A and B are shown apart, each in its own frame.
Chain A
Amino acid sequence: MELVLSLGIGVLAGSGVWLLLRPRTFQVIIGLALLSYAVNLFIFSTGGLRTGAAAILHAGEVGTLANYADPLPQALVLTAIVIGFATTALLLVVLLAARGLTGTDHVDGRERDL
């Protein structure tokens, strides 16, 4: 299972990096989205992959890691997802404005001299 997930993370990160290095702003946005999936999954996996571990405590119980999933990476990734959404929105609007101002959707604001 570990192999499947780490390969998946690798494919997401590789596709994301490839798109980050492309010249068009839309490619960069998609690349950032893919890369953030990969990083979120990676941070999440640092807590250990547990299928069927309880995520919710029984009332009044003192939880231990033996019978509950690690909550800390989950809390971190939850924050990361929301912040990732906000930055994607900001990036989208900035690049739309840049496209309106410069007339091109190249990441540098002008076409590369060929």
Chain B
Amino acid sequence: MAHATVEWTGNLEGDFDLKGLLAYSTISHLGLITLLLGLKSELALVAAIFHIMNHAAFKCSLFMAAGIIDHETGTRDIRRLSGLNRSMPFTARLALVAAAAMAGVPLLNGFLSKEMFFAEALSAQDAVSPWLNALPAIAMLASAFSVTYSLRFIHGAFFGPDPTDLPRTPHEPATWMRFPVEILVLTCIMVGVLPAATVGPFLDIAAHSILGPAMPAYSLAVWHGFNVPLLMSMVALAGGVLLYILLQQRLLVGPEGPPLLRRLEGQRIFERSMVFLSWRLARALEGIVGTRRLQPQLRILIGLAILAGTGTVWLRGFGPGNLPLTPVDPVLAMIWSVGAACALGAAWQAKFHRLAALILVGGVGLVVCITFVWFSAPDLALTQLTVEIVTTVLLLLGLRWLPKRLQVPGGREPEVLNRARRLRDLALAVGAGAGMAMLAYAVMTRTPPDLLAQPFLARAYAEGGGTNVVNVILVDFRGFDTLGEIFVVAAVALATFALLRRFRPAADSLELPEQQRDQDGTPLHGDAERPAADWLVVPFALTRLLFPVIVIVALFLLLRGHDLPGGGFSAGMVVAIAIIVQYMIGGTEWTEHRLRLRPHLWIGMGLLLASGTGLAAWLFGRPFLTSYFAYAELPLIGKVPTASALLFDIGVFALVVGATLLMLVALAHQSVRGHRATPRPAERPPAMAEGG
């Protein structure tokens, strides 16, 4: 609720961006949903799920409407927008309905979940905590605020006089741009009018999956008779409209002279408090938390985390756990002293020497990897090692496009300012580090809770058909999470590719780096007429020989993943590394001349295979991603476990190969493209080495 109030003040005053306004209102709706979840009643949980669905429908349509306005007018500033109702009537109607749903107008979906919210707020009164008695009033106030910002969106953008200084002349968008909004608004209306027939089954499934068999009885109907929640809805609606009118006069027109003395007093007090709440407090809060600069935001975030941690320790005490300490192994202690030195060195060198910092971070990664092996986690070590290599290569490729260190002509004044800031940051960093160390120590010296591991260990072989429990969890028990994860990786790879397609490097990094200029135009290998004899011949021959070997290792890791350390992730990374090595030693052109990579195809096939394996379970009448396993007797090889989870893992493998290669190759190609983009003299070297 504190959220709701802060964001209310924020969005009434602080933000003139349409999307910013909607984003703030999303935060207040999330606050409402969290509040419902915090009420600890089954019905409140159903109401929360219902509101999540409704919020998705109306907020998506409002965001898309804001996008349409931005696209058609060239601005999202609510102060410049007005009167769009005349130029884009259809969009205005759609946004009006969606905003009304957000405000909780009857016969729309927002009304239904808000009524459930009110009913829950009322019934929570008999709980122990005293502030719950104020909950209905707070709920009504929050609801009134949502009416106010809905009105601000609609009235600000669509009504009023014609807009004057828009960057573009507004008109209706293309049909297909409006189409998704139309569907969503139709959903809002359909759910609002016929809730039981439309959203009922979906809500039932969703609530069932959380609550299990203990489903409470709830009724999805538009009309529950004249009751208190309905009254609260109406009061909130009226209050929100009133609030908007009052605030608008306050802010746009200025103070008015009220005719009666008594009313003047009352109104002045009201207005004073309104001005304080909506203007001064909001300004002060915005000054602290609303900054658009990253560093203050992060400082607040870390400071709050440290405060929350110390507060808990203050209240609950900090003591050693119940487990005896295991003796310090000198070998691991030495390894970790190297790791700590690497971390501190990286923190020190990231400003002065980026390459050194990167190498030091790689050192930390290796120490982490050894720690995983040390404490019985071979799968993690394998993944960490391969990811470490790929990340380092990726960052090396990026180094080329970063500027030289900024030389500030050193005056006395900024130095002092910088020192104060550095000391504050150092205090935060030391505090955060000490807090993490204490937390980790407290956790490690206590008996780990045996909540979930036992069933996984017991069922991995019997029901998942694999002896590598980590892999069985990833591809079978929690396969849906992994599916979501590989979709994220695919989206990231495509986003990277899309961003780099339009990449325009800064002017000062266009020139060839001196390392490349030193190569004086000698082409790399692959040029049959002129073999460059003195250019890394031995590594070149070795990597070519090793390529099939590495690929076979990857296949080995993939196929044994269900039973032994390995699996799709690490196998995919290993294949990617094999190809990167070819790029690094052979150069872009040589490699692409011989190896036809189609990263998009790999990504698509991976996603298709993984989702297809999941969908195939439906053919057998089982839920999505149910896996099947058996042991097949193959001649010569013997008994081979064949689980459908292996197919899923192959999908993961293909996706990881494609995504990693897409990112790396897109970044590596910038070196080639970057030169082409600039007019250069003809003696440009015909081929360029990749890999930093």
Once bound together, how far apart are the Cα atoms of A34 and B402, in whole Å?
A: 20
Q: B667 to chain A: which residues have CB within 8 Å?
A: 92-93
Closest-CB distance, A13 to chain B (whole angstroms): 4
* Number of A residues with CB within 8 Å of any CB on chain B: 94
Once bound together, how far apart are the Cα atoms of A21 and B374, in whole Å?
A: 32
Neighbour of B506 across the interface among A3, A55, A103, CB < 8 A:
A103
Beyond A23-B295, A103-B506, is A4–B347 a contact (Cβ under 8 Å)? no
Beyond A56-B565, A82-B569, is A65–B433 a contact (Cβ under 8 Å)? no
Closest-CB distance, B632 to chain A (whole angstroms): 15
Q: B406 to chain A: which residues have CB within 8 Å?
A: 104, 111
Closest-CB distance, B139 to chain A (whole angstroms): 36
Do most interface residues of chain B lie in helix, strand or loop, or is the interface mixed?
helix
What is the chain A residue whose CB lies nearest that of B343? A15
The tally of CB-CB contacts under 8 A between chains A and B is: 327
Q: A5 to chain B: which residues have CB within 8 Å?
A: 336, 371, 440, 444
Neighbour of A89 across the interface among B358, B394, B453, CB < 8 A:
B394
Neighbour of A1 across the interface among B327, B428, B456, B500, CB < 8 A:
B327
Closest-CB distance, B492 to chain A (whole angstroms): 4
Interface residues of A in 15-51 (CB under 8 A from B): 15-27, 29-31, 33-34, 37-38, 40-42, 44-51
Once bound together, how far apart are the Cα atoms of A99 and B417, in whole Å?
A: 26
Once bound together, how far apart are the Cα atoms of A11 and B440, in whole Å?
A: 12
Interface: B384 (CB within 8 A): yes
Please determine whether B492 and A30 come into contact, CB atoms closer than 8 angstroms.
no
Please determine whether B368 and A41 come into contact, CB atoms closer than 8 angstroms.
yes
Once bound together, how far apart are the Cα atoms of A2 and B656, in whole Å?
A: 34
Given A15-B344, A50-B375, A72-B473, 16 additional A-B pairs, CB 8 A: A1-B326, A4-B332, A5-B336, A6-B441, A9-B437, A13-B437, A17-B428, A30-B350, A30-B358, A33-B365, A41-B368, A49-B375, A56-B468, A71-B453, A93-B496, A99-B401
A interface, CB within 8 angstroms of B = 1-27, 29-31, 33-34, 37-38, 40-42, 44-65, 68-72, 74-75, 77-79, 81-90, 92-94, 96-97, 99-101, 103-105, 107-108, 111, 114
B interface, CB within 8 angstroms of A = 292-295, 298-299, 302, 325-329, 332-333, 336, 339-340, 343-344, 346-347, 350-351, 354, 357-358, 361, 364-365, 367-368, 371-372, 374-380, 383-384, 387, 390-391, 394-395, 398, 401-403, 406, 408, 411, 413-414, 417, 425-426, 428-430, 432-441, 443-445, 447-448, 450, 452-454, 456-458, 460-462, 467-470, 473-474, 478, 481-482, 485, 488-489, 492-493, 495-496, 499-500, 502-507, 563-565, 569, 656, 659, 663, 667
